[in-house]
């Protein structure tokens, strides 16, 4: 078994690390303040090949695969999980178009998404509950030459900066009752609502969408009618979950760094608190969570690159473990900081807030465990 990254992945890791330090880190205070994704980052993310990391070269991507994607998202998220999550949701739309799009849809949308003309998004969740896909209320009714959409979506990442969102709507009943569509911003009857004020991942835009007799042409259907559930589940489990896992991995790396730095610099009883065994145990726990999450994330991404069908189970495991581990680890890192951990000038509080938000985005821990137990029991 070879634990060494192939050369192209090493290059992506270095590129993403440098980019995160130079281009993303200076924007973190502004993102924390406004809660908005800085538009100025879009083109530079495209320039370093991160928007099209899983897209083939013929559509303008850098075609580096899922392990490279995970490694890049981790480096970005170590500096800003908000930017990591923005990127990962963007990748979800590129993957869905690759998997389900017609040649014409791929040629029209993928180069624009890779160039950073706009961000990608997949709109599935509704106010009626994100865990229950069949309970969604947004409908797409067939009419001559197209479809009429009615309903709403909520908690949608990147919605404010996406010109052609992917939307899943009800076209029938049961598991074949959902279909996916590619909308155009500005289509009559389609509007974007408020930008949510989140406790964490500030800098990843999250918002609402409304459809009121929104008319779409027949060319907007992505995949076949009735394939929306399959498309949503595959995109969530094979792209969304590993993306959130990588964001959590970045948070875990940052948590370990902050915990070590503080425990070496804070002096009590005449010595750095790193000498106290209770602090050392916290650090050891953070380290074990980090390395366990890392192995799960890398293996799941590697399986996806090998085209293995069982990758979805491993990606769900990586997502549930890494996001829960990030919550545990950031809490411990925060405790190591004592009162300083609760002060806004110490980054550890941001890591803790970001970790909490990563738990539900991409599917909750409870839903993840249902998926995993089903895989084990079947
Ligand atoms: C920052 C952020 C970004 C997001 N981005 C997107 C996006 O881009 N696109 C998109 O479509 N969605 C997005 N979401 C929505 C996300 O996918 C949902 O929040 C998630 O699926 C959970 O849905 P919910 O919040 O409606 O919770 P609910 O589904 O209402 O769940 C509430 C609680 O019930 C539990 N629960 C539900 N069903 C079961 C069950 N069968 N057994 C046991 N417990 C259960 C849940 O685990 C949870 O604890 C985002 C969310 C966040 C926070």
Domain boundary among 96, 115, 134: 115
Where does residue 32 rank: exposed (0-12), middle (13-18), buried (19+ CB within 10 A)?
Answer: middle
d(CA 169, CA 236): 16
Asked whether residue 309 carries a pLDDT value surpassing 90, the answer given is no
Q: Examine the domain organization and report whether 201 and 256 are in the same domain.
A: no
pLDDT for res 330? 98
**Maximum Cα–Cα distance across the chain:** 80
pLDDT for res 361? 95
156 lines ligand 1 (CB under 6 A): yes
Closest Cα to atom 22, ligand 1: which residue? 130
d(CA 331, CA 308): 35
pLDDT for res 1? 85
Query: Is 282 part of any domain?
Result: yes
Q: Examine the domain organization and report whether 198 and 154 are in the same domain.
A: yes
Report the pLDDT averaged over residues 75-82: 98
Asked whether residue 175 carries a pLDDT value surpassing 90, the answer given is no
Which atom of ligand 1 is closest in space to residue 363's alpha carbon? 21
Quick: pLDDT tens for 188-214: 999 999 999 999 999 999 999 999 999
d(CA 366, CA 360): 9
Q: Examine the domain organization and report whether 184 and 275 are in the same domain.
A: no
Domain boundary among 67, 83, 115: 115
Q: Examine the domain organization and report whether 359 and 263 are in the same domain.
A: yes
Which run of H or of E encompasses 283? helix 277-305
Quick: pLDDT tens for 350-360: 999 999 999 99
Overall number of domains in the chain: 3
Query: Is 292 part of any domain?
Result: yes
Residue found by looking up tokens 């539900």 in the block = 360
Query: Is 180 part of any domain?
Result: yes
Task: Choose one of 355, 364, 373, 374 to mutate for the ligand 1 pocket test, by most ligand atoms within 8 angstroms of C-beta.
Answer: 364
**Domain CATH number, residue 55:** 1.10.540.10
User: Can you give the residue range of the structural domain that contains 185?
Assistant: 122-228
β-pairing verdict for 146-157 and 139-143: antiparallel
Which atom of ligand 1 is closest in space to residue 196's alpha carbon? 1
pLDDT for res 76? 98
50: confidence class by pLDDT, cuts 50, 70, 90 = very high
Give the mean pLDDT of the chain: 97
β-pairing verdict for 190-195 and 178-182: unpaired
155 lines ligand 1 (CB under 6 A): yes
Query: Is 207 part of any domain?
Result: yes
Query: Is 1 part of any domain?
Result: no
**Domain CATH number, residue 170:** 2.40.110.10
Query: Is 99 part of any domain?
Result: yes
Quick: pLDDT tens for 250-273: 999 999 999 999 999 999 999 999
361 lines ligand 1 (CB under 6 A): yes
Q: Examine the domain organization and report whether 252 and 178 are in the same domain.
A: no
pLDDT for res 325? 98
Closest Cα to atom 28, ligand 1: which residue? 129
Q: Examine the domain organization and report whether 242 and 330 are in the same domain.
A: yes
206 lines ligand 1 (CB under 6 A): yes
pTM for this prediction: 0.97
Which atom of ligand 1 is closest in space to residue 125's alpha carbon? 11
pLDDT for res 93? 98
pLDDT for res 11? 97
Task: Choose one of 77, 129, 155 to mutate for the ligand 1 pocket test, by most ligand atoms within 8 angstroms of C-beta.
Answer: 155
Where does residue 326 rank: exposed (0-12), middle (13-18), buried (19+ CB within 10 A)?
Answer: buried
Domain boundary among 115, 135, 167: 115
Report the pLDDT averaged over residues 25-38: 97
What is the 363 CA–ligand 1 centroid distance (Å)? 5
Asked whether residue 221 carries a pLDDT value surpassing 90, the answer given is yes
pLDDT for res 294? 98
Query: Is 134 part of any domain?
Result: yes
**Domain CATH number, residue 287:** 1.20.140.10
Q: Examine the domain organization and report whether 344 and 275 are in the same domain.
A: yes
Cβ proximity of 243 and 73 under 8 Å: yes
357 lines ligand 1 (CB under 6 A): yes
123 lines ligand 1 (CB under 6 A): yes
> 85 in the Ramachandran plot: left (φ > 0), alpha (ψ -120 to 50) or beta?
alpha
Closest Cα to atom 44, ligand 1: which residue? 366
**Phi and psi for 221 in degrees, rounded to 5?**
-65, 130
Asked whether residue 2 carries a pLDDT value surpassing 90, the answer given is no
Q: Examine the domain organization and report whether 298 and 357 are in the same domain.
A: yes
Q: Examine the domain organization and report whether 245 and 350 are in the same domain.
A: yes
- DSSP class of residue 258? H
What is the 266 CA–ligand 1 centroid distance (Å)? 39
Report the pLDDT averaged over residues 333-362: 97
What is the 2 CA–ligand 1 centroid distance (Å)? 36
Cβ proximity of 354 and 82 under 8 Å: yes
360 lines ligand 1 (CB under 6 A): yes
93 lines ligand 1 (CB under 6 A): no
Q: Examine the domain organization and report whether 300 and 332 are in the same domain.
A: yes
Query: Is 2 part of any domain?
Result: no
Q: Examine the domain organization and report whether 170 and 218 are in the same domain.
A: yes
Closest Cα to atom 38, ligand 1: which residue? 131
Q: Examine the domain organization and report whether 222 and 235 are in the same domain.
A: no
Nearest CA to 181 out of 117, 123, 94, 99 is that of 123
């Amino acid at each position: 078994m070879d634990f060494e990254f192939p050369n192209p992945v090493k290059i992506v890791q270095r590129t993403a690390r440098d980019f995160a330090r130079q281009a993303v880190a200076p924007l973190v205070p502004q993102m924390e303040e406004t809660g908005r994704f800085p538009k100025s980052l879009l083109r530079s993310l495209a320039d370093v090949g991160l928007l099209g990391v899983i897209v083939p070269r013929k559509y303008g991507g850098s075609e580096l695969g899922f392990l490279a994607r995970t490694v890049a998202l981790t480096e970005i998220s170590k500096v800003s999980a908000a930017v990591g999550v923005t990127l990962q949701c963007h990748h979800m739309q590129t993957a869905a178009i690759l998997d389900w799009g017609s040649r014409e849809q791929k040629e029209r949308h993928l180069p624009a998404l890779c160039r950073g003309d706009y961000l990608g998004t997949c709109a599935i969740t509704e106010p009626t509950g994100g865990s229950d896909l069949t309970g969604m209320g947004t409908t797409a009714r067939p009419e001559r030459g197209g479809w009429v959409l009615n309903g709403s979506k909520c908690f949608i990442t990147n919605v404010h900066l996406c010109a052609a969102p992917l939307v899943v709507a009800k076209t029938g009943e049961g598991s074949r009752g959902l279909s996916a569509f590619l909308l155009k911003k500005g289509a009559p009857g389609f509007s974007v609502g408020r930008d949510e004020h989140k406790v964490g991942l500030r800098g990843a835009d999250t918002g609402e969408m409304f459809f009121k007799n929104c008319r779409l042409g027949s060319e907007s259907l992505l995949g076949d009618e009735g394939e929306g559930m399959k498309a949503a589940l595959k995109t969530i489990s094979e792209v969304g979950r590993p993306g959130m896992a990588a964001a959590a991995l970045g948070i875990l790396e940052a948590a370990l760094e902050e915990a070590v730095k503080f425990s070496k610099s804070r002096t009590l009883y005449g010595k750095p608190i790193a000498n106290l065994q209770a602090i050392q145990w916290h650090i050891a726990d953070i380290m074990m969570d980090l390395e366990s999450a890392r192995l799960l994330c890398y293996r799941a991404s590697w399986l996806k690159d090998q085209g293995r069908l069982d990758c979805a189970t491993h990606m769900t495991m990586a997502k549930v473990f890494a996001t829960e581990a990030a919550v545990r680890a950031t809490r411990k890192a925060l405790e190591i900081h004592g009162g300083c951990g609760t002060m806004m000038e110490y980054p550890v509080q941001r890591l803790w807030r970001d970790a909490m938000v990563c738990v539900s985005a991409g599917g909750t821990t409870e839903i993840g465990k249902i998926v995993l137990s089903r895989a084990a029991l079947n």
